[in-house]
Amino acid sequence: MLPPQNVETSGVKAPPAAHAGLWGAPLQRLLDNADLLEELIMLLDPEGKAGAGTRHLAARYGLSATWIDYAYSLRSTRSPLRATLETVAARQPDATLGQLAGLLAAMGRQDALQVLEGMQAGV
């Protein structure tokens, strides 16, 4: 597993002052926000968009192909995105929403970035 500081975030522009606290917030904050998490699940869990879904996000976080396949095998009862984010948050307690935003930007998922920006009101 890659340490959190090695997660690529260069694709994300510096957040405006209003978002600065959000991008530094722990990844767990997203897991605690059921509505926004559900929106991201609907965007990222379907496997239709090549190179830009949960499977690829998990790989960018350094999770093994075996782990990713296992997460998808449980899909009927558990979201692969939720499992990915819970695993990352548990293994990398200092993982941030900014790191997630960087990975989503690198994957070209502006739609998912807009959902993350919806958390601004909760900061």
Q: How far is CA 64 from CA 67, 74, 76, 78, in A?
A: 5, 16, 21, 18
- Interatomic CA distance for residues 7 and 120, integer angstroms: 22
- The answer to whether 65 touches 59, Cβ cutoff 8 Å, is yes
Looking at residue 11, its pLDDT comes to 42
Nearest by Cα to 36 from 90, 82, 105, 103:
82
**How many Å apart are CA 30 and CA 85, to the nearest integer?**
9
Predicted structure pTM score: 0.80
How much is the pLDDT for 6?
A: 42
pLDDT of residue 1: 35
* Low-confidence spans in the chain with pLDDT less than 70: 1-21, 49, 120-123
Q: What is the pLDDT of residue 51?
A: 72
Q: How far apart are CA 81 and CA 50, in angstroms?
A: 16
Residue 122 has a pLDDT of 53
* Angle of CA points 8, 48, 102, to nearest 5°: 15
To the nearest whole percent, how much of the chain has pLDDT over 90? 67
Residue whose tokens read 């350094």? 62
CATH hierarchy code of domain 25-122: 1.10.533
Tokens 């496997």 sit on residue: 47
What tokens were used for 80?
A: 């692969």
Q: 96: helix, coil or strand?
A: strand
